[in-house]
Amino acid sequence: MTRNGPILRVEGLETRFFTEEGQVNAVHGVDMEIDDGEVFGVVGESGSGKSVTALSLLGLLESPGRVTGGEIWYRSAELADSVAEETPTAVDGDYVNLLGLPDRVRRTLRGTHFSMIFQDPMSSFNPSLTVGEQIAEAVEAQQRARSNPRSVASRTQGYGLGQYLMSFVSSSREYVSEESRDRAVELLEMVGIPDPVLRAEEYPHEYSGGMLQRAMVAQALAGEPNVLIADEPTTALDVTIQAQVLDLLDEIQAETGMTILIITHNLGVVARMCDRVGVMYAGEIVERGALADVFDSPVHPYTQGLLGSVPDLGGSSGRLQPIAGNVPSLLDHEMPDRCYFADRCPKAMEACLQKPPELPVDGAAGHTAKCYLAEEPFDESTALPDGYFEDGSTDAADSADASGAAEVASDGGESE
């Protein structure tokens, strides 16, 4: 932990989708602490709740999704100062509970305090404006947001994830100053775009996928955010370009000291980039800790399974073997009253069937796992017999297919 405490402290975050089939507990009780200036990775198979967690942090969930519980404490003395009068209950010292802020205020934090990059750069650029113009717009929009929160509120009203940055460019091209254009060129240069003066004049379709990904990073940096959330930032890229974009994020982190939250299904990305990691399964963080602790001495059998099936983390090895068994349904009325991993767990014991294990609450910065084996060593004689779940109680194991883990990969070049 840094001297000043973590920059982000997520406590008991719960996000649900209220669908016709019932309530989907996409995220239920996520706790994590992210230190200022660290790279924190959230890794897990497809559907484990990674993107929903990111959207919840940014306040970008769309109906029928809603954050239904928990607190998101963000450390910013500047923000705490500016909201203390209007929302005193959302402030605790230098920390602000983002969930206690009005939407209007939260919107002004996107692009300024927080920025996001995601898998598909096309979705963050308007095809009919030049890249330079759009980055210049992002620069100006963030200046406006910092000086007058209400101006951005009106521009972004009703917009979701892909559109919130695009919305900045919709109506104010004439306001882009020479200064902002110069800044856009600087940002393009910073992310390694060759001939940035010329490339700033080009349209998104004139960029390659890797170049556009760099431009999206430039756009995300326009507002000098404190925290960058990158959701599968390299999944759509081939392995070589992926490595270049990761290098770029590394350099930017070193240069700016920015905090980065990387969300990925790719264990190789985590191994390469992250200081600490949280492993997500079925809407929960099931293990977290320093990268070396989690990767060298995984405690949770899910983490062990993921890591065990990666032949060569640093290399360009092929896809993983899936972990046998089914991901549990996240529908509230179908969620099992036992460890959510029990049906797939080679070490499941009688105790695991009684109730889901808790994540020990000791120092959140330490290495912890949501598993009964975090407290006692595995004793083979207590394991349930092979085929236990095929023979009997499989009430909760009938939702997704068993191929999810195949999507947690050790290399790049494959998409979700």
In the list 106, 144, 181, 347, the residue contacting ligand SF4 (rule: CB under 6 A) is: 347
Nearer to ligand SF4, 121 or 336 (CB): 336
Task: Write the CA distances from 19 to 27, 146, 160, integer angstroms.
Answer: 15, 37, 19
The listed partner (ligand ADP, Mg ion, ligand SF4, none) that binds 164, CB under 5 to 8 Å by sort, is none
Q: CB 207 → Mg ion: shortest distance, Å?
A: 24
In the complex with ligand SF4, the residue whose CB is nearer, 74 or 340, is: 340
Rule CB under 6 A: is residue 327 a binding residue for ligand SF4? Answer: no
Q: State which of residues 55, 117, 277, 345 lies at the interface with ligand SF4 (CB under 6 A).
A: 345
Q: Secondary structure of the chain in the HEC alphabet?
A: CCCCCCCEEEEEEEEEEEECCEEEEEEEEEEEEECCCCEEEEECCCCCCHHHHHHHHHCCCCCCEEEEEEEEEEECHHHHHHHCCCCHHHEECCEEEHHHCCHHHHHHHECCCEEEEECCHHHHCCCCCCHHHHHHHHHHHHHHHHHCHHHHHHHHCCCCHHHHHHHHHCCCHHHCCHHHHHHHHHHHHHCCCCCHHHHCCCCHHHCCHHHHHHHHHHHHHCCCCCEEEEECCCCCCCHHHHHHHHHHHHHHHHHHCCEEEEEECEHHHHHHHCCEEEEEECCEEEEEEEHHHHHHCCCCHHHHHHHHCCCCCCCCCCCCCCCCCCCCCCEHHHCCCCCCCHHHCCCCEHHHHCCCCCCCCCCCCCCEECCHHHCCCCCHHHECCCCHHHHCCCCCCCCCCCCHHHHCECCCCCCC
Q: Decide if residue 207 touches ligand SF4 (CB under 6 A).
A: no
Cβ closest to ligand SF4, residue 298 vs residue 357: 357
State the nearest-atom distance from the C-beta of 65 to ligand ADP, in Å: 6
Residues that bind ligand ADP (CB under 6 A): 17, 19, 24, 26, 44, 46-52, 65, 330
Smallest gap from Cβ 305 to ligand ADP, in A, equals 17
Nearer to ligand SF4, 122 or 351 (CB): 351
Does the footprint of ligand SF4 cover residue 339 (CB under 6 A)?
yes
Smaller CB distance to ligand SF4: residue 323 or 371? 371
Nearer to Mg ion, 51 or 213 (CB): 51
Task: Please count the residues of this chain forming the interface with Mg ion, following the rule CB under 5 A.
Answer: 2
Per-residue binding string, Mg ion, 22-61, x by CB under 5 A, is ----------------------------xx----------
Find the shortest distance in angstroms from Cβ 333 to ligand ADP. 14
Which segment (3-11, 77-85, 179-187, 346-354) binds ligand SF4 by CB under 6 A? 346-354
Query: Closest separation between CB of residue 99 and ligand ADP, Å?
Result: 18
* Residue list 262-301, contact with ligand SF4 (CB under 6 A): 300-301
Residues that bind ligand SF4 in the complex, under the rule CB under 6 A = 300-301, 339, 341-342, 345, 347-349, 352, 357, 371-373
